[in-house]
Chains A and B, each alone.
Chain A
């Protein structure tokens, strides 16, 4: 079955610790995205990647880092510099993003709680 997986579903961390969220896709999509979802707000873009070994900051990249070493994988690290890390994190992918509109497909999300 093709799709996007995120793990774990729920994650708890102590304040001051870095944490890495996993995102894997087997859809052969070039583009991948990380969003943050908070109650009462729209999805906000953290980082996106159009191709392996390249990524761009989104609207709220501060306190986050990513890597794109493989086409299938786009892990997100939430660092201790992120002031309000508790949120629902969604990973998405699409066939392309370069001046073309493509539907984004989402993973099941990871709910991160920082205590």
Chain B
């Protein structure tokens, strides 16, 4: 079967750095998305990786290693507004999105 694993919840301190991991086992791979979702709101697009390596976009970076089915989202200089759930989703061989359950990130002052 297809499986996406992320930690359920993480806590970090304002101003610090946090890394949210995502591991996957899917039938085929055509890329991996990260979305941010504040409670009760729409998921919003953060990043898309299809090749191995690190992609940096401001305070957020996303890393992919296809050989081990692994990605992480790195958030630097954490702000209170970063408190949200972070969703990992893999595009499978049928170009369908397979979603992880999301990681709820709690930022403390």
Residues in chain A within 8 A of chain B (CB atoms): 4, 40-45, 88, 90, 97-101, 103-109, 111
Contacts and interface: CB of A to CB of B under 8 A. Distances in A.
A106 B100 CA distance: 16
B60 interface: no
A106 B4 CA distance: 21
Given A40-B8, A101-B31, A106 B95 contact: no
11 contacts: A4-B42, A42-B99, A43-B89, A88-B40, A90-B42, A97-B95, A98-B95, A99-B95, A101-B30, A101-B31, A105-B45
- For chain B, the bracket of interface size reads 20 to 34
B18 interface: no
A104 B43 CA distance: 9
B97 A104 contact: yes
Contact of A42 (B4, B95, B96): B4
Interface string B63-102: 0000000000000000000000001010100011111111
B44 interface: yes
Given A41-B101, A43-B87, A101-B91, A106 B8 contact: no
Contacts of B41: 108-109
Contacts, number: 49
B38 to A, nearest CB: 11
Nearest to B99: A42
Contact of B33 (A42, A99, A103, A111): A103
Nearest to B100: A42
B42 A109 contact: yes
A111 B42 CA distance: 12
B87 A103 contact: no
B43 A90 contact: yes
Contacts of A108: 41-42
Nearest to A38: B101
Closest 7 A-B residue pairs measured CB to CB? A42-B99, A106-B42, A43-B99, A42-B101, A108-B42, A106-B43, A101-B31
